[in-house]
Amino acid sequence: NSAWGSFMYPYLLLRDPEKYTVAVQLFAFKTAADKPLDMYFVALIFSILPPAILFAVFNKHIMTGFSLGGVKE
């Protein structure tokens, strides 16, 4: 269901390119015939960097939350 929620529903329902999700925008960018493939890879890297940086910064808090959430009393 997550794959449908992040790509297929926005792809089918949104008509305004300014409201596209990251996955839909990357797909539209990749399927455009006049865009070089190296620019697609640059866009892909810039879409991956922010979540990766946030995870690296908050890794300790995320893992603490996972471990506390898994403990039953």
**Which pLDDT value is given to residue 6?**
76
**Which pLDDT value is given to residue 41?**
87
Question: pLDDT tens digit string along 8-64?
Answer: 888 888 889 888 888 888 888 888 777 788 888 888 898 899 999 999 999 999 888
Distance CA 23, CA 9 (A): 11
Query: 1 versus 57: which is more confidently predicted?
Result: 57
Exposed/middle/buried for residue 63 (C-beta within 10 Å: 0-12, 13-18, 19+): exposed
Distance CA 23, CA 25 (A): 6
**Which pLDDT value is given to residue 52?**
93
- pLDDT(4) > 70: no
Which residues, 6 or more positions from 24, have their beta carbon under 8 angstroms from its beta carbon?
7, 10, 11, 14
Model's pTM, two decimal places? 0.59
